Amino acid sequence: MMAVTAVNGCRYCSYFHARQALERGVTPEEIAQLLTGDVANCPEEEAVAVLYAQHWAESDAHPDPEAVRRLQQTYGAERTEAIHLMLQMIRLGNLMGNSFDYLLYRISFGKWGGATLPRS
């Protein structure tokens, strides 16, 4: 979740997912790394999924077919489908958060929100 949020730049989602990670024992240092896009310390069994999630977000939900094949090869068809569903839900949340931020920015004449403007 944090890998996708890092790409999409939603501050609300970053806060929410960081809080969840802290509750599950992820260290503040690991969270900071993930939120900057650094996945070097990712658990080996999750690495393919996390790297895929970053690629998926960076490619605007149009991943390379080879990346999809590797994800399926690593996790199987059912788990790959679940990963795609989760990525779509995260993307929707990020888009809503960034859109809300942009609205705050516009109605406050630049005083609030607007930390990251929505991607076109």
pLDDT for 36-89, tens place per residue? 888 888 888 888 999 999 999 999 999 999 999 999 999 999 999 999 999 999
Q: 115 in a domain, yes or no? A: no
Closest of 1, 7, 8 to residue 95, by C-alpha: 8
Q: 26 in a domain, yes or no? A: yes
Q: 22 in a domain, yes or no? A: yes
Q: 10 in a domain, yes or no? A: yes
Question: What would you report as the CA-atom Rg of the chain, rounded to the nearest whole angstrom?
Answer: 15
pLDDT given at position 118? 46
pTM of the predicted protein model? 0.80
Using CA atoms, how far apart are residues 33 and 5, in angstroms rounded to an integer?
Answer: 13
Q: 39 in a domain, yes or no? A: yes
Using CA atoms, how far apart are residues 12 and 89, in angstroms rounded to an integer?
Answer: 14
DSSP state, 111? S
Q: 116 in a domain, yes or no? A: no
Q: 120 in a domain, yes or no? A: no
Q: 118 in a domain, yes or no? A: no
Count of domains for the chain: 1
Q: Which residues contact 119 (CB under 8 A, 6 or more apart)?
A: 8, 60, 98
Handedness of CA 28, 29, 32, 33 (dihedral sign): negative
The boundaries of the domain holding residue 36 are 2-107
Over residues 11-35, the mean pLDDT reads 90
